[in-house]
Chains A and B, each alone.
Chain A
Amino acid sequence: MAFPIIPYIQEVTRLEWLRKFFFVKTAPLLTPPYFRGFPELTGKTCTHALFCMMACPAPGAIDVIRTPGGWQPRIHMGHCIRCGLCVEACPNGVLTSGRILESMFYDNTRLSFSFRIDVNTDLCMGCGNCAVACPVNKLIDAQMSHGGRASTDELLLKVSEGKCHVLHVEKCTGCKTCENHCPNEAIRVSRLLEAVHGQEEEV
């Protein structure tokens, strides 16, 4: 076993140690540009697609508010976990954080949303609350009666034969209004997030 002091003397007489001891100051406490900070606005127009809110894994971290200049996402510090999913999910590039937007451009990647509506026919009473409340239905048929019955088949949700039926799931915007208005928890909307490679196809 070596004499205990020798390794230590060797350590402090290394040229690099001496150089650091006399000349190195603490590194400037800078945040590197590649760090994903809190998302910031880029100034592009928000179209109120709300994909940022749907992708966000933290409760109460982001909401989209109406300002005099239009819709605008707002980040709540203390709730936001800086994961950057909202930046990736936004179809318009409203938010930016670190170099996520740049990476998405170079790597040609994006997050795509699709929606899936499951109606539990055992629980569904055919009350039509979901079909009446659905904002997509409202745009298509503003005259929909209170029972959720309508003449057109262009609707997203429609009640026929005492049960709710999903007709055009591709029209769903994932707002979950139907889920919130169901008295029996019979309808469930799933937001399916997919990390894909390639260009934006649908808007």
Chain B
Amino acid sequence: MKRTVDVSVPIGPIHPCFKEPARVKCETKGEFVISAEVELGYMKKGIERIMRGRPWQEVMFLAERVCGICSVIHNMVFIEALEQMSTIAVPERAALLRVIVNELDRMQSHILANFSYCYTIEHETLAMYLLDVREHVMDELERITGARVTCAYIVPGGVRFDLRSEDVLHLRANLAVIEEEVTRYMHMFEGGPLIALRSREIGVLSRGAALEAHAVGPTARASGMPETDRRIHHPTYKKLGFSPVSRTEGDNYARIMVRFQEVLESISIIRKCLDTLPEGPIRGGGIPGAGEIAYSGEAPRGELSYFIKTDAAGRVVDISIQTPSIMNIEACCHYMLKGVSSLADVPSTFVSADPCIACTER
């Protein structure tokens, strides 16, 4: 079939709306986008090649630097994979502390994604409000782990630092502030008529298309697939008891709202952890041994899998990482962007899928 293509518009790699280099090539007919394609390859560092032949204390830091935004979950999945492989037991307190730090990380990642979206649709007020509330989350992360972004908190058999009793008070007070603020911004987003014009019914990903594209994370949950949340399989989360959020609209608006709701969900998970936090040691010791495992966890952007093979000395022989963004970027280009009625909506739709180019290419 012959297609009428007016112009092929490349967006990126340097674009005011994109924080990271990626090129989206849109074939358009007038302003109407017929098809889109993403071109990657600006961030390939070869992390998996560097990881081979290294012990856990080096691979742990490399795994964190697969993606700087969701660094805690990379750390957690890698270490928990090693623990499963060598049957290292984790103390109860350490397991809950891991969940607390992981949820804080998820909160800041979601708030950052929503900030980018609001910034892209030029709603700078809401964007700056969100960036301000993110600083409160970063404060808590820093108070617990000692670093803002690459925390290096989780080690085999436990965590590195304990949560002090005075920090619990700070954390609870800050959580109350964050909850109040995020709820207010969520209502601002929900009720903003101009936001609705730029977000509702734009970049629609139906449930069928999401299944076909293997969308994961908030992108899939906005299309009515709550079962994609890997946290429901995690033993510690199972004990805490939580239900994944999902929406059915599948447009930009739903994706942002899912993230807002997940931030509130994370706050309640952290509160449950703090209520049930037992006293006890935070490190159980244990040295990883030989083995082979596939292990996955729920990153802020979706399912993250590690396939690891180690030798008797605990060195990583072979490793392969599957990150969530690659599926979401493909879903975004092949399903969401198709049929977008204006080129101005292309960056905002792309950003609403929360693409993380660094972890896509590694």
Contact = CB atoms under 8 A, between A and B. Distances in A.
Interface footprint category on B: 35 or more
Nearest to A58: B61
Contact of A88 (B156, B160, B188, B192): B160
A118 B193 contact: no
A4 B194 contact: yes
B55 A191 contact: yes
A109 B313 contact: no
- What are the 10 tightest A-B residue pairs by CB atom distance, in nearest-first order? A190-B313, A36-B146, A196-B285, A197-B283, A195-B155, A107-B162, A57-B61, A197-B281, A57-B58, A83-B152
A116 B313 contact: yes
B60 interface: yes
Interface string B143-160: 100111010100111101
Query: Chain A: interface residue count, which band?
Result: 35 or more
B313 A35 contact: no
Interface string A116-137: 1010000000000000000000
Given A109-B282, A193-B55, A194-B287, A2 B152 contact: no
Contacts of A34: 142-143, 146
Contacts of B157: 194-196
A190 B285 contact: no
A85 B57 contact: yes
Interface residue SS majority, chain B: loop
A1 interface: yes
A192 B314 contact: yes
Contacts of A181: none
Interface of A: 1-2, 4, 7, 11, 32, 34-36, 55, 57-58, 81-85, 88, 98-100, 103, 106-109, 114, 116, 118, 188, 190-197
Interface of B: 55-58, 60-62, 142-143, 146-148, 150, 152, 155-158, 160-162, 164, 188, 191-194, 196, 281-287, 312-315
A2 B193 contact: yes
Given A2-B193, A197-B285, 7 more contacts: A36-B147, A57-B61, A57-B62, A85-B152, A118-B313, A195-B155, A196-B157
A107 B142 CA distance: 18
Given A83-B152, A84-B146, A98-B146, A193 B56 contact: yes
Contact of B191 (A2, A83, A84): A2
